[in-house]
Amino acid sequence: MAETAAQPEIVTIPCLKDNYAFLLHDPATEATAVVDVPQAAPIVATLDARGWRLSDILITHHHWDHVDGVADLVAATGATVWGAAADAARLPPLDHALAEGDPVTIGGLTGAVIDVPGHTVGHIAYHFPQAGAVFTADSLMAGGCGRLFEGTAAQMWDSLSKLAALPPETLVCSGHEYTTGNMRFARSVDPVNSALMSRATAVDAARAEGRPTVPSTLALELATNPFLRAADPAIARQLDLTGADPATVFARIRSLKDAF
């Protein structure tokens, strides 16, 4: 009987106060990538504990709490750095400058770049079908989405719509532990959603035990994340926007969250 190939591994690494970095490891080739580097030390410690060698660094966007440790990590490991060509001037030096649809190869794993402007205009996500995961940082988040610091609501809705089209079983590896607050807000705009109520209870239990709520699954986000549900008539009714287009409903949800 033929042996089953070892599956890619994903490790969630808490950094700073509430950030996450992620290791993506290909057992077949021993290649390992990290997605975002808020700080180098926790990543180096996790690599050492597992006996893995870092081969690649994947950057999602330019904010300091996602790139501050890149220079130290490159110095420590010699890893190759990937990031958005459109934002190269604001990122650490890139070995590979990327645009939407470009392939990203980590050992035997091939991912694709998804352009997801909104939080920043140069934000990208990385989808790795073989790992069943998308690394979304501050675009699609667990129960929420990133603030619109640079982009427009229409841009962010378009970005989230791209991510929503991925297979529902996809793991959503987002960049922060914001889920408790996101659940509180979600209940205010989607108060009769039983799946949301169940998720909020599970999130509270996980955090009480010190467990991360990230990654989530796209199916869970589609069922409970109001920012992905702007096309749902029930959400529009709750916001007195019956008949409005989803981008308009999304913009209202985002403005309400900003003031929440």
The model's pLDDT over 88-98, given as tens digits with 9 standing for 90+, comes to 999 999 999 99
Q: Which of 25, 62, 63, 127 is catalytic?
A: 63
Domain 9-259 sits in CATH 3.60.15.10: yes
Q: In angstroms, what is the C-alpha Rg of the chain?
A: 18
Q: Residue 5 above 80 pLDDT?
A: no
Q: Tell me if residue 25 is catalytic.
A: no
SS3 245: coil
Q: Tell me the pairing of strands 171-174 and 133-137.
A: parallel
The model's pLDDT over 60-85, given as tens digits with 9 standing for 90+, comes to 999 999 999 999 999 999 999 999 99
The model's pLDDT over 200-217, given as tens digits with 9 standing for 90+, comes to 999 999 999 999 999 999
What single-letter amino acid sits at 196?
A: L
Q: Which of 56, 65, 68, 190 is catalytic?
A: 65
Q: Residue 1 above 50 pLDDT?
A: no
Q: Tell me if residue 127 is catalytic.
A: no
Could you tell me which residues come within 8 angstroms of residue 19 by beta carbon, excluding any fewer than 6 positions away?
Answer: 36, 38, 65, 66, 175, 176, 177
Q: Residue 4 above 70 pLDDT?
A: no
Q: Tell me if residue 176 is catalytic.
A: yes
Q: Tell me if residue 66 is catalytic.
A: yes
Q: Tell me if residue 115 is catalytic.
A: no
pLDDT for 6 equals 82
Q: Residue 3 above 70 pLDDT?
A: no
Query: What mean pLDDT is reported for the chain?
Result: 96
Q: Residue 38 above 80 pLDDT?
A: yes
Q: What percent of the chain has pLDDT over 70?
A: 98
The model's pLDDT over 238-247, given as tens digits with 9 standing for 90+, comes to 999 999 999 9
pLDDT band at 186 (very low <50, low <70, confident <90, very high): very high
Residues 90 and 62 sit within 8 Å (Cβ to Cβ): yes
The model's pLDDT over 117-144, given as tens digits with 9 standing for 90+, comes to 999 999 999 999 999 999 999 999 999 9
pLDDT for 137 equals 98
Taking the complete model, does pTM exceed 0.75, yes or no?
yes
Instruction: Please give the DSSP secondary-structure letter assigned to residue 176.
Output: B
Q: Tell me if residue 96 is catalytic.
A: no
Handedness of CA 213, 214, 217, 223 (dihedral sign): positive
Q: Which of 26, 56, 138, 190 is catalytic?
A: 138
Q: Tell me if residue 119 is catalytic.
A: yes
∠ at Cα 137 (132, 140), nearest 5°? 75
